[in-house]
Amino acid sequence: MSAMRIERLIEELDHFDGRYPRQLVEEAVSLQREITPRLIEILEGIADNPVRYASENHFANSYVVALLSYFHEPAAHLPIICAFCIPEQPRDEIWGDMVTETLPVSLYHTCNDQFDTIKDLIADREAPEYVRGAAVDALTYAVARGK
């Protein structure tokens, strides 16, 4: 699959028209190996400049986190944390309820059964409160699954 097709796929996921783009998501899943580095780059871009990302009206971020979580991609773990540990105003615009609804499972799925970064996030008093709470929930999932 060409890099151009991956960019076009991400562009299509970045456009919100009120409908779930099942075919696009299925295509992204089928391109897991090829698309994963680009998805991680998007998270890094959010962490590097969240105000710009929020002001440009992007929507792919939701699919990015969902896909990387679905892939159980360990390389996405720290970029997910960084992308959610941004200042409150752009965080609310970019992530909304995903901080409490999606982030816990994403942290759990991407940690590769290594919980030190999640524990560190919980203990980090500088980290956003709801992000720390999501980390607590992620550990709860791990306990519930016998990890």
Q: How far is CA 60 from CA 26, 38, 56, 141, 142, in A?
A: 15, 12, 12, 26, 28
Residues 24-73: tens digit of each pLDDT: 999 999 999 999 999 999 999 999 999 999 999 899 999 999 999 999 99
pTM: 0.94
The amino acid at residue 49 is N
> Which residues form the domain of 105?
3-144
Residue 118 banded pLDDT, cuts 50, 70, 90: very high
How many domains is the chain built from? 1
Residues 78-116: tens digit of each pLDDT: 999 999 999 999 999 999 999 999 999 999 999 999 999
Question: What is the model's pLDDT at position 18?
Answer: 87
